[in-house]
Structure 1
Amino acid sequence: MGIQDIERIAGATRYDTPPIIGERVLSHLNPNTVPSVFIASGENFEDSLSVASAAADMSFPILLVKSDSIPEATKNFLQKYDLGTIYVVGKQSSISDSVVEELKNYGPVEDKRGTTRYQAHTNVLYDLKLKPTSVTVAHGWTFQGMLASGTLAALTNSATLITNSQSLSDDVKYYLLNIQDELDYAYIIGGTDTLSTSVENEVDSYIKP
């Protein structure tokens, strides 16, 4: 009964661990699959957390970089595989242009950075052509909501959207408008002190009757 075994998956640093997890992800894919990856900042939690559900849905490993350099563990993973697309995600201020240019040495790069965390996140959703029937909405300035909603979003094939506590950003509104015909459910993550009733009402206005 209970847990039969425990395995620790860990690297020496925050940059060493994601490639180990990425190896496990790819080991479950069809051998003929050409894998793609997300590249996110290892210094800003929201950049990687905001794409976690999309990564789970698409079976894309998430690898981390520093703002101005690519750690050796990330380079080694990128060199090992013939990659489909390298998606660079997060804010423009989180990952420098020079890092994006260097990533082009490892495969085709799609630069999905945005000027804000909200734009950066919806850029990814548009590019992957994700048109879900449900969304999870979490606070974009604290990690707890995004972390807690990741598994739910993956299990329900929901897109995770991030916003501030009082209103939806224009980028999120435009994304919801684009999926409005398919959208029939939304999960609001957290209490009204985290996401206000006005945010809930805004989201509800995009759900089809």
Structure 2
Amino acid sequence: MIKNKLMLMLCAVGITFFTATKVMASAEIHRIWGSDRYDTAIEISKSGWSDGSEYAIIANGENFPDALSAAPLAKKYNAPILLNSGKSIDSKVESELKRLNVKKVFIIGGTAVVPSSVEKRLSQINIEAIRLYGQDRYETAVKVAEQLGFNGELAIASGENFPDAMSMAPIAAQKGMPIILTSGENLPSSVAKYIKDKKINKTYVIGGNDVVSDNIFNTLPNAERLYGDSRYDTNIAVLKKFENELNFNNIYLSNGENFPDALAGSALAAKNSSAVILVSSYSGVSTGNFLSSRLTSFKTANILGGTGVVDDILVQIVLPMNTIISSDAAGDYIYQLEQSAGGKCRIYKTKLKGSDRIQISDELTQIVNFKIYKDNIYFTTSSNQLYKMNLDGGNKTYIADVYPDGFDISEDWIYYFTSDRHSISKIKIDGSGISKIADVYGYYPKVTDGWIYYNRIFDEAPSVPYKIKLDGTNDTPINNN
């Protein structure tokens, strides 16, 4: 009873003891990237198929529709997806095919997207080419599906944009499930014909009724819609549906606003029984919550693409690698004191909407604690000093020597323990008017309602919560009386 009452009193006056939130401390971040989308696809191929592959897939790197359904084919034949552009096969793509020792290539799409000169060059270097294509993107998806075979499950997504199909691609690949594309209010005739002859046990419709209409949904056997309010929410809805079948030791993050890296990465994710998580400055709460709830499962986070498509600040936001020591807020930003695995402490600010992460303090500053007061950041360091600086990190100014574990600010006064912890003092926020309040031994002062609450230290005994008047009188233990 006494303990419960004491805890309630401490909470009521806002006294907190040091706690740190540690996230993803043991995971490794690995960026797979090249100078452009074509080089990135090659680097993905090298990462996943270091020992080579008998098969490879070539798709157009400038337009997404024909290649959206390629991941299941890549999984079936253990093939990387390489991207090509121009009127002939890219020399780097050719070099990668030779490194892989490829014997057969599937070309996705007609000659308008992957020219016939590619087939000609493949023949010259003794690689057999099989072109899968139709009159449009929908029929091309059917041709790819026919190459796969059918096991009773089907995924349907819009062929007008890439994110929903990309969200499903690695999972469909692992399940041997064709990805069929649609648009408008009715199924394309080629798709309707393909479905007609199939015994479908389950259909997964990816996306809301604005991308795959209810009219289409209602014609599909045993249909289940996986969707959210945005492409990112839909991505997470898909992941949650199949999370028990996925291996989250390795995760793959790709830009959700463009398709190439996610397309090439979908084959690698499928190979490792994982999935592609779409991120950008527009990805929101669903993505953040999903990643945060599974951070301890991740051993490697693979970033698909260079910093131009998934920058380091975004990675730090969605995959925090630091220990969060404390936080405060001012204006449109939340400020966090974070400690890296190497022990460096820095203050960052991030917009409340979860973007525009900015480092405020330099990496050499060993910050222990901080508070925001009247457009300034006040902080203590491991060298027993109190400083202030602007909210943008500028105009750093020394104030006083203090014990670093805790200080408080009230009505333009800073209350703190001296560096030997044997007395509590106050000083004006401008550094003037320093004065001792009392000779007490403690830490973590908290000012409220005319009292300073703190932890009193006794030799060879546990610390005890105390309170003392602002003028240094009535030094009293907090108890049940």
Q: Same fold (TM over 0.5)?
A: yes
2:208–2:225 contact (8 Å) kept in structure 1: no
1:118 is aligned to 232
1:58 is aligned to 175
1-side partners of 2:310 and 2:224: how far apart? 32
2-side partners of 1:59 and 1:179: how far apart? 26
1:139 is aligned to 255
Structure (1/2) with the larger helix percentage: 1
Q: 1:9 aligns with which of 132, 150, 153?
A: 132
1-side partners of 2:290 and 2:126: how far apart? 41
1:95 is aligned to 212
2:269 is aligned to 153
The residue type equivalent to 1:148 in the other structure is A
TM-score after normalising by structure 2: 0.39
The residue type equivalent to 2:307 in the other structure is T
2-side partners of 1:190 and 1:8: how far apart? 28
Matched, 1:22 2:145: yes
Identify if the C-alpha distance between structure 1 residues 206 and 170 changes in structure 2 by more than 3 Å, giving closer, same or farther: farther
1:205 is aligned to 320
In angstroms, what is the RMSD of aligned CA positions?
2.3
- Unmatched 5+ residue regions in structure 2? 1-102, 104-124, 323-340, 342-481
- Unmatched 5+ residue regions in structure 1? 28-33
Identify if the C-alpha distance between structure 1 residues 206 and 65 changes in structure 2 by more than 3 Å, giving closer, same or farther: farther
2:33 is aligned to none
1:26–1:35 contact (8 Å) kept in structure 2: no
1-side partners of 2:209 and 2:310: how far apart? 26
The residue type equivalent to 1:123 in the other structure is A
Q: How far apart are residue 202 of structure 1 and its match?
A: 3.3
2:201 is aligned to 84
2:368 is aligned to none
2:228–2:234 contact (8 Å) kept in structure 1: yes
2:289 is aligned to 174
Structure (1/2) with the larger strand percentage: 2
1:92–1:114 contact (8 Å) kept in structure 2: no
Q: How far apart are residue 112 of structure 1 and its match?
A: 0.7
Structure with more contact order per residue of length (Cα contacts < 8 Å, sep ≥ 6): 1
1-side partners of 2:246 and 2:169: how far apart? 16
2:291–2:319 contact (8 Å) kept in structure 1: no
TM-score after normalising by structure 1: 0.84
2:251–2:277 contact (8 Å) kept in structure 1: yes
Q: How far apart are residue 167 of structure 1 and its match?
A: 6.7
Aligned residues: 198
Q: How far apart are residue 204 of structure 1 and its match?
A: 3.4
2:308 is aligned to 193
